[in-house]
C-alpha cells in the first residue's frame, strides 16, 4: 500500500497509529483484524504489535509499555493509540508517560484490572499462584492454556490509576453489559477527568456487535476520512 507509507512518512503532522490488543489475545483478534482493515481502506498504516512477544508466561505491564514505546517515531512526532481492554490500560499509561501521545481511544479499558480479576480467581487460587509462581490461564489467541508468572500481579501494583492525570484527549468506548471490566470502572475514570469522553454501548466486553459504531466514533474522534 504505497499510499499508507506516504501518509506516515511524508506528512509530519499525521500521527503514527498503534493498536494494542487485550490480555491473552493477539494481533489476529476480531477487533484487531476489523480495525486494521478499516484503516487500510482509508490508505492509512496502523501498527499492531504482538504483545505476547512469544512469551506470554512472563508478560507484565512494564514489559508491554517498553515494547510499545519502541514502536514510537522519534519525538515529537505525534502518536495516536487505540487499546482494547488490557491494551487500553497500557495505552492510558503511555499517554501519561509521553507527550507525543496526542489521542487515545480505549475500548473497554481494563481499569481496576487486578481488583476485578483476583476476586474472580478466588483467594485459594491466588495464594496457590503466589506460592507456585505460575498460574495456567486460557489464552484466546493461542487457543490453549498457558502459564502466567505471578510477577504480572506484583508488577501491576506499582501502577496506581489515580496517577493517570495527563490531559490527553481520550475517547472511551465501553459496553454497558461488560462481564469482565464493569462499565463503572470507566465511569469512575471519566468522572474526574474532563478531557475524557465516555460513550456507553449496548454490548459486552468483546464489543463484537458494535464494531461499525466503534469505527464511526474512532473516525470522528481521530479525524479520519472514510
pLDDT digits (tens, 9 = 90+) for 189-208: 999 999 999 999 999 999 99
Residue position matching grid coordinates 484527549: 169
Q: What is the pLDDT of residue 13?
A: 54
- For residues 50-79, average pLDDT: 97
Q: What is the pTM of this model?
A: 0.93
Crossing angle of the two packed helices 123-132 and 113-121, in degrees rounded to 10: 100
For the cut 80, the answer to whether the pLDDT of residue 226 exceeds it is no
Q: What is the CATH number of the domain that holds 48?
A: 3.40.50.1820
Domain holding 134, by residue range, is 2-222
Q: Give the number of domains in the chain.
A: 1
| Burial class, 219, CB count within 10 angstroms (exposed 0-12 / middle 13-18 / buried 19+) | middle
The pLDDT tens digits for 5-24 are 334 434 445 799 999 999 99
Share of the chain above pLDDT 90, in %: 93
Q: Mean pLDDT for the chain?
A: 93
- For residues 215-221, average pLDDT: 97
Q: How confident is the model at residue 74 (pLDDT cuts 50, 70, 90)?
A: very high
- For residues 141-145, average pLDDT: 95
Share of the chain above pLDDT 70, in %: 94
Amino acid at each position: 500500500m504505497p499510499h499508507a507509507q506516504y501518509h506516515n512518512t511524508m506528512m509530519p503532522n499525521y500521527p503514527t497509529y498503534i493498536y494494542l490488543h487485550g490480555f491473552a489475545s493477539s494481533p489476529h483478534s476480531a477487533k484487531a483484524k476489523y480495525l486494521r482493515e478499516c484503516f487500510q481502506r482509508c490508505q492509512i498504516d496502523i501498527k499492531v504489535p504482538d504483545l505476547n512477544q512469544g512469551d506470554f508466561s512472563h508478560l507484565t505491564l512494564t514489559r508491554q509499555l517498553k515494547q510499545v514505546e519502541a514502536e514510537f517515531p522519534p519525538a515529537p512526532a505525534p502518536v495516536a493509540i487505540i487499546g482494547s481492554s488490557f491494551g487500553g490500560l497500557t495505552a492510558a499509561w503511555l499517554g501519561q508517560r509521553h507527550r507525543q501521545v496526542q489521542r487515545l481511544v480505549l475500548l473497554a479499558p481494563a481499569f481496576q484490572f487486578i481488583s476485578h480479576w483476583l476476586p474472580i480467581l478466588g483467594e485459594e487460587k491466588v495464594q496457590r499462584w503466589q506460592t507456585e509462581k505460575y498460574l495456567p490461564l486460557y489464552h484466546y489467541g493461542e487457543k490453549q492454556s498457558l502459564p502466567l508468572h505471578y510477577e504480572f500481579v506484583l508488577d501491576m501494583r506499582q501502577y496506581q490509576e489515580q496517577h493517570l492525570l495527563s490531559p490527553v484527549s481520550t475517547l472511551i468506548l465501553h459496553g454497558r453489559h461488560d462481564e469482565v471490566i464493569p462499565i463503572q470502572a470507566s465511569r469512575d475514570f471519566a468522572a474526574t477527568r474532563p478531557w475524557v469522553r465516555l460513550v456507553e454501548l449496548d454490548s459486552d466486553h468483546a464489543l463484537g456487535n458494535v464494531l461499525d459504531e466503534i469505527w464511526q466514533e474512532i473516525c470522528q474522534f481521530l479525524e479520519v476520512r472514510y
